Amino acid sequence: MTGHVVALCGGVGGAKLAHGLTMALPPDELSIIVNTGDDFTHLGLHIAPDLDSVIYALAGLSDPVRGWGRRDETWTFMHALQGMGGENWFRLGDGDLAMHVERSWRLAQGAKMSEVTAHLCQQLGIAVRVLPMSDDPVRTRVLTSDGWLDFQEYFVHRQCRPVVREFEFAGAETARAQPAALAALERRDLRAIVICPSNPFVSVEPILAVPEIRAAIGRSDAPVVAVTPIIGGKAIKGPAAKMMLELGLDVSGAAVARRYAGIIDGFVIDETDSIPQPLPDITFFGAATLMNSTDDRLRLAHAVLHAADTLRGISAVA
C-alpha cells in the first residue's frame, strides 16, 4: 500500500517511532509534525527540545545512553557557565549548543521556524519533511500545586515534582498550522495519520490544540492510529504516568486511547498488556511498542502502518 503518512510527534519516544517510519517509508511518503509547545528561550537562545529530539534521532545523532541530547556530548560550556554564576538548571551540552545558537541566529535574522528546521535537516542529511506544528509561538503551561508554571520550569527546573491539574497551550488558539504540515494532512493520497508514543498531555495535545491541525485531522478520511506511551502501567520515559495519576486517570494504554476518543480510529497497545474493553470507534491492536533497538523502531513502524491499512480495509468493507 502506498500513500502519504503524517506522524504527530513529541520528543524522545515519538522520535524513535518517527525514525522507524523513515526506515519503513520512502522520504516523500512521510511528513513528521513536531510539537513546539515546549520550546522556550533560555539565556537568549531559542530552544526547541522536541524538534531537536526528532532531528537527532533522524540524523543518527541521539545519545543512546542518556536518552536525550546528542551523542559524544561534552559539558565544558556548562562548567564554565557555572563558574561565572550563570543559570545552570537547564543542561546545555556543547554540541547541542550548536543547534540552539544556529537556530536562534537564523530566527533572529527573520527566518521562520519551519525554514530553519528545513535548513538544519538538509544540512544533516535528513530527507523526510520535519515540520514544526506552527511557525507561531505556542507555549505549554502547567497548572500545578505550585500554581501556573511554564513547561520547562515544571519539567526541568522542578523535575516534574509539582502535582499537575491542568494544561494550557498559550497562543494555540490563534496559531496558524505550519502550511506544509496542513497540506500534508489535506493530501488526497493520505494513507494514515500516526500519533507517536509521546506524552498525550504535553507532546500531542499541543499539536492538536492548533485549530487548523485538529480540523484537518477531523476532516480526513485517512485512519488515525495512536501508539501507547504506557506499557504495563508505566511510562517508558518522562512524566506521562505521574500526570495520569495526578489527573485521576488510569495509568494504562486504554486511558490514553479514551483521551484520544473522537480523534483516533485505532490504538496500538503493547503486546504485553491485555486488550482493553472495547471502545466505540476505536479498534485496538497489539504490538511490541518498546523501542530499544533500531530494529524495534522499524518493526513498530510496520505494525502501525499495518494497523492503519487494516482500518482502511475495515472502513472500505463497512
83 binds a copy of itself (CB under 8 A): yes
Which among 80, 180, 95 is positioned nearest to 130, based on CA atoms?
Answer: 180
Applying CB under 8 A, among 29, 102, 271, 309 the residue interacting with a copy of itself is 102
Q: Which is nearer to a copy of itself, 108 or 314 (CB)?
A: 108
Q: Are the CB atoms for 211 and 182 separated by under 8 Å?
A: no
Task: Please tell me the distance from the alpha carbon of residue 256 to that of residue 173, in angstroms, as a whole number.
Answer: 23
Q: What count of other Cβ atoms lies within 10 Å of the Cβ of residue 295?
A: 11
* Three-class DSSP category at 161: coil
115 binds a copy of itself (CB under 8 A): no
108 binds a copy of itself (CB under 8 A): yes
Q: Which is nearer to a copy of itself, 72 or 189 (CB)?
A: 72
148 binds a copy of itself (CB under 8 A): no
DSSP H or E stretch at residue 33: strand 30-34
Whole-number minimum distance, CB 39 to a copy of itself, in Å?
Answer: 17
* Three-class DSSP category at 307: helix
Applying CB under 8 A, among 64, 65, 76, 147 the residue interacting with a copy of itself is 76
Whole-number minimum distance, CB 104 to a copy of itself, in Å?
Answer: 6
96 binds a copy of itself (CB under 8 A): yes
Buried b / exposed e over 190-221, threshold 16 CB at 10 Å, is bbbbbbbbbbbbbbbbbbbbbebbbebbeebe
275 binds a copy of itself (CB under 8 A): no
User: How far apart, in Å, do the first and last CA atoms of the chain sit?
Assistant: 19
**Segment interacting with a copy of itself (CB under 8 A) among 118-126, 264-272, 291-299, 300-308:** 118-126
Whole-number minimum distance, CB 78 to a copy of itself, in Å?
Answer: 8
Q: What count of other Cβ atoms lies within 10 Å of the Cβ of residue 105?
A: 13
**Segment interacting with a copy of itself (CB under 8 A) among 18-26, 72-80, 208-216, 259-267:** 72-80
Applying CB under 8 A, among 1, 23, 43, 314 the residue interacting with a copy of itself is 43
Applying CB under 8 A, among 1, 23, 98, 183 the residue interacting with a copy of itself is 98
99 binds a copy of itself (CB under 8 A): yes
145 binds a copy of itself (CB under 8 A): no
For strands 190-195 and 4-9, give the pairing: parallel
* Distance (Å) of CA 9 to CA 81, 128, 275: 32, 14, 24
Which among 146, 141, 196 is positioned nearest to 171, based on CA atoms?
Answer: 141
Q: Which is nearer to a copy of itself, 119 or 302 (CB)?
A: 119
Task: Please tell me the distance from the alpha carbon of residue 133 to that of residue 7, in angstroms, as a whole number.
Answer: 11
The three cell numbers locating residue 298? 522499524
Q: Which is nearer to a copy of itself, 93 or 206 (CB)?
A: 93
Q: Which is nearer to a copy of itself, 42 or 242 (CB)?
A: 42
* Three-class DSSP category at 89: coil
Residues contributing to the site for a copy of itself (CB under 8 A):
43-45, 70, 72-74, 76-81, 83-86, 93-99, 101-102, 104-105, 108, 119-120, 123-124
